[in-house]
Amino acid sequence: MDINQVAQLLNDTLSPDVNAVRTATDALDRLSLLPHFPFCLLYIASGGENQGLRIAAAMYLKNLTRRNIDSNASCTNISKEFKDQLMRVLLQAEPSVLKVLLEAFRVIVGVEFVKQNSWPELVHELQSAIQSSYLISKDANSGWTTVNGLMVLHALIKPFQYFLNPKLAKEPVPPQLELIAKEIIVPMLSIFHCFVEKVLANNYSTELDTEKILLIVCKCIFFSVKSHLPFALIPHLSSFCHDLIMILGSLSFDDGNTVKDNLLRFKTGKRGLLIFSALVTRHRKFSDKLMPDIMNSVLQIVKYSANISKLDFLQERIISLAFDVISHVLETGPGWRLVSPHFSVLLDKAIFPAFVLNEKDISEWEEDADEYIRKNLPSELEEISGWREDLFTARKSAINLLGVISVSKGPPMGTPSNCSSVSSKRKKGEKSKRNSMRSTMGELLVLPFLSRFPIPCDANASHSRIQKDYFGVLMAYGGLQEFLREQKSEFTANLVRSRVLPLYSVSVCLPYLVASANWILGELVSCLPEDISADVYSSLLKALQMLDKGDTSCYPVRASAAGAIVGLLENDYMPPEWYPLLQVIVGRIGYEDEENSILFELLSSVVGAANENVADHIPYIVSSLVAAISKHMHPSSEPWPQVVERGFAALALMAQYWENFLHEEVELDQSSGKWESGQAAIAKAFSALLQQAWLTHIQPLECEVSAPPSCIDDSSMLLRSIILSVSERNVIEELKLSELLLVWADLIGDWHAWEETEDLSVFDCIKEIVNLHSKYELKNFIVRQMPPPPAPPVPPQSIIEGIGAFLSEAILQYPSATWRACSCVHTLLHVPKYSFETEGVKQSLTISFSRAAFSRFRAIQSKPSSLWKPVVLAISSCYLCYPAVVEGILKKDEDGGFALWGSALAFLCSSSLEPRLSLESEIKLAVLTLAKVVERLLGLGNPGSSLLQDCYASLMEAAVQLKEVQEDEENDEGDDEEAEDEEDDNEESEDDDEDSEGDECEETEEEFLERYAKAAVNLENNTLVEEGDVEDQEHDIELGSLDEVDQLKVVASLIERYHNVIMQGQPLSSQLISKFLKTSKFMKLQSFSKSILVHPPYMQ
């Protein structure tokens, strides 16, 4: 292979010319099939003429390696020669190339070393390379770079930071990790110690490579102890931890400037604290003796918390981790003895200074209020995606530590006089009795300390020191939630009345304090008695209305108030009046983009908590929201602004609540003209909004739409609400429903941005559209009217064609939607009335559905599963519509698609295991389909075929089951009243059961691991429930005119006509025939029983 050619092609991939890049990529893909191609890439990555070319070669090698292993993970077939060459390149590559090549190395290691353990020489070779590298061996002629060797070690050990076998509740240390620790890490620890002494002697003037080595070794140790602890490391933990303590002692926290020149040292210190946390929390047996020295080290760090406003982020993160280490130590057995002597100093000199309002807080409040809220006022209304290390601030860690301290038990208040005499005969309850006699540090230390700071009032509110300190007091109260839960509710109520609620009455604006007070109230709602909830609510409602004060934004005040109100509602508080709250929320929506998402969340929570109490206000809410959303909706915006998307979600929720409320009113027979007018107003508002969103995109003489496909699911809910409001044909015209449905059908027909959600409104909307068409015959539903000339060459699709395209894609691509999509297939094929002119549309739908359903079935056919039933029944509906067409589609399959489907249908009808047919509508469809299949197979002249016999036997079983189900339903109708009485009698016992749930013991770590190990085994054995909503499996399918057919007569007619031919095949089981004859006595079909009795098939 010509290396120059490969290099040129790689250079071409860097070209700005798109065509040149495509041509070069295609050529490289063809060359990648050759065995020596990866070696060429390695050669170029290590010796290319420029850095861009070397990186391009490394990048292509990484992608090629990942592609090859992903396609055949069980057998990688990577040659030893290539792996050796890759190792040599890794040990010499420049940093930019090394970073890319390590990704390829991790892919190979993950399979060959971690999973298969088929690279035994790797550890020895890497150990040899590291020991002979130039910084370790001091050999200037060494070709290996020490940093590169340790980076390879880092990539090698990283997979072992987690447990690898979830099926084991207690996983032993992997032998590969043990080998790495013994052969490489342990020998490195003595070198690590020498390097630590070297950097400490030279302070901050050490070589960069030395600092890198310290950081990488610490990362490798962290990955080794994060989950497991190799036995070889245990004897060396003490000396290594003391080295880390020396590194931490060399860090400076006076200001943030020292980090810039010593970034690696601070990163090493941060990693050291993570190691301490892992040792204390996971490996107590080996870390107890180290805790005193660890505690002394972190105590020196946390005292710098008063400087956090001046410190760099990394410095603050180190202080945060130091607080976390103290918390972890305090939660251990010897923790009280080690930490309690320092409680007072910690609280005064470290914890509280981290709470006090500082310049960084004020700056962040003004410049990035959302970030301020996430760090200081977190609530469930905030959306935080991923793992955000910058949110783990020193203040949050200090709050957590204060909470741990506050619930720690202090010395006993008193000792029983006879304690010594009966120490050997203590009763079981005596231990808890003694614990109750011991006061917590919250009572003894924390609350008395916080009471030293006066609450701001009109007389002293202008003093900035008082405001800043009381900000810290409020932050401290936020950490006492666990402590306050253990106190009587009146205790917490008095604390809130005296130390929090007065802040809302101060005439001077205190936004920083009020925002924190809101957050505190939200944190403490579960601890508050009912009699104070009204005062708390009125204070929060006042804060929710706080306007900006000059240049000071009060957005954090309103956001924290919203979060606290949600917490109050979730704690079952019901305001005396809902309208003032709704008026405030709706009135502010649309003014500030940053607040809209929080206000929409609050609105949803309010409506959900209020239920029927806000039903009267829903039309007003809907109209106000539509007006606010319309101002932000522009025809050219795609995607829609966040306020619009949030608004559609809120409107969809309003529509759902309104529908539920109307349903309850109908059941209670309390519907009136007021509710009808409300429904009409909601429908008009929804229609106007959807017209603005969709119909403004249609230009004159255009037949295609270009509406943005945003909020499809929520739009479907709005559309469904409009449909449910239609009571007369003229309403369809007034609301422009036909036009909206056309656009909606086009959107879902070309919709690929699927969201895996439990409840998709699109499917519910489809069924309502079909029902509406059955009543009023919608325009453009089955066949779309041709636009005026000049007409397009291809006729535009109708509503049902757009729906059909959506359903086919759902069946093909999305397992979670299979049940609902297949249910809609039955509805579209059987409910609408197709004329002779529209039969072509029905046939086109049948072809599309049968292809999609059979393709899905082929993907899951290897093992019976719950998804068999919907796809097999969907094909059955298609087969009943056009048997010859569907049979032709199935027979195109090389493995006999028609026979596969027929056998699966027979299995569903005859199986006593899941999946099986259980609903009457399913059995009816199966009976009609099997009768049609049997008749078709008999027409082929092969009565002895196994498929015919299976289908015939299953037909008999299905007929018996259908009759039994019908009789059971008749019997069940008479038992409904008794069942209702039993349900009423059981309500009280259910309430008692719910109350007893709170008394259950909290799950231990061992129980948690055992449960997840069992779940992992079930997942591997495919015994877990497949994707899809279980409730979807319990709904009857719509058969339309097929439901009027007497299925049992169809079976009787088939037997009468073909019993002589069927007798030539394999005999039926005696059990089946006996059951069939017994059931037929109740069918009152004499010919049915007679044909079996006179000409019985041979019995087995």
The 3-class secondary structure across 72-134, one letter per residue, is CCCCCCCCHHHHHHHHHHHCCCCHHHHHHHHHHHHHHHHHHHHHCCCCCHHHHHHHHHHHCCH
Residues 6+ apart with CB under 8 A from 334: 288, 291
How many helices and strands (H and E) does the chain possess? Answer: 55, 2
Residue 666's pLDDT is 60
Q: Residues 330, 407: contact at Cβ < 8 Å?
A: no
Task: Please tell me what DSSP assigns to residue 306.
Answer: G
**How far is the C-alpha of 920 from the C-alpha of 966, rounded, in Å?**
7
State the CB neighbour count (10 A cutoff) for residue 870. 27
**In the block, residue with structure tokens 């070297």:** 198
Q: Answer for the pair 611, 569: CB distance below 8 angstroms, yes or no.
A: no
Neighbours of 542 (CB within 10 A): 14
> In DSSP terms, which residues pair with 1099 in a beta bridge?
1068
| Per-residue burial over 336-360, b = 16 or more CB atoms within 10 Å of its CB, e = otherwise | bebbbebbeebbebbbbbbbbbbee
Burial bucket for residue 583 (CB in 10 Å: 0-12, 13-18, 19+): middle
pLDDT at res. 495: 95
CA angle 995–1000–1003, rounded 5-degree value: 145
How wide is the angle at C-alpha 317 spanned by C-alphas 512 and 336, nearest 5°?
90
The answer to whether 366 and 550 have CB atoms below 8 angstroms apart is: no
pLDDT at 753: 64
**Tokens (6 digits) for 218:** 């610490």
Q: Which residues contact 487 (CB under 8 A, 6 or more apart)?
A: 527
Q: Measure CA 1089 to chain center.
A: 57
pLDDT at 749: 86
Per-residue exposure over 395-411, b if at least 16 CB sit within 10 Å of its own CB, e if not: bbbbbbbbbbbbbbebe
| Structure-token pair, residue 569 | 């509602």
CB atoms within 10 A of CB 966: 15
Nearest to residue 873, comparing CAs of 948, 806, 774, 958? 958
* Helix residue spans in 283-351 (DSSP H): 284-287, 291-302, 313-330, 335-339, 343-345
Q: Cα–Cα–Cα angle for 555, 559, 565, nearest 5°?
A: 145
Nearest to 289 by CA among 238, 234, 226, 225: 238
pLDDT for residue 249: 94
Residue 963 identity:
K
Taking 3-state DSSP, the helix, strand and coil percentages for the chain, each rounded to the nearest 5, stand at 70, 0, 30
> CB under 8 Å to 1059, separation ≥6 — which residues?
1091, 1092, 1095, 1097
> Contact 744/719 with Cβ under 8 angstroms?
yes
State the angle between helix axes of 464-478 and 489-499 in degrees (0 to 180), rounded to the nearest 10.
160
CA of 352: how far to CAs of 36, 372, 401, 402, in Å?
65, 19, 11, 9
Structure tokens that stand for 585 in this block? 């929320």
Q: How far apart are CA 887 and CA 871, in angstroms?
A: 15
The set of long-range contacts for 72-77, using a CB threshold of 8 Å and a minimum separation of 24, is 73/111, 76/108, 76/111, 76/112
Residue 901: per-residue pLDDT: 94
Of 56, 48, 55, nearest to 25 by C-alpha is: 56
Shortest CA distance to 906 belongs to which of 867, 862, 947? 947
pLDDT means per 10 residues, the chain with 1100 residues, are 87 90 92 90 90 93 89 70 93 94 94 89 93 85 88 96 87 94 95 92 77 95 95 96 96 79 91 96 92 96 93 93 96 90 95 95 93 86 50 89 90 44 42 59 95 93 91 95 91 95 91 95 89 94 92 92 94 92 90 84 89 86 91 75 86 89 66 75 94 73 53 91 92 93 90 61 92 92 77 76 93 86 94 90 95 92 84 96 94 86 90 76 93 88 80 87 80 56 51 47 76 78 48 75 87 80 62 63 46 45
Could you tell me if 106 and 155 are in contact, meaning their C-beta atoms sit under 8 angstroms apart?
yes
CA distance 561 to 357: 19
Tell me the C-alpha to C-alpha distance, in Å, between residue 229 and each of 161, 184, 279, 1009. Answer: 10, 15, 9, 18
pLDDT of amino acid 419: 40
Structure tokens, 232? 């070889």
Q: Are 275 and 222 in contact (CB under 8 A)?
A: yes
Q: State the Cα–Cα distance between residues 608 and 611, nearest whole angstrom.
A: 6
Which pLDDT does position 999 carry in this prediction?
Answer: 45
Using DSSP, state whether 439 is helix, strand or coil.
strand
Question: So what's the pLDDT on residue 597?
Answer: 83
pTM over 0.85: no
How many other C-beta atoms lie within 10 A of the C-beta of residue 793? 5
Ramachandran class of 1037: left when φ > 0, alpha when ψ lies in -120 to 50, beta otherwise? beta
740, amino acid identity: L
DSSP H or E segment with residue 412: strand 409-412
CA distance 754 to 736: 27
Answer for the pair 693, 707: CB distance below 8 angstroms, yes or no.
Answer: yes
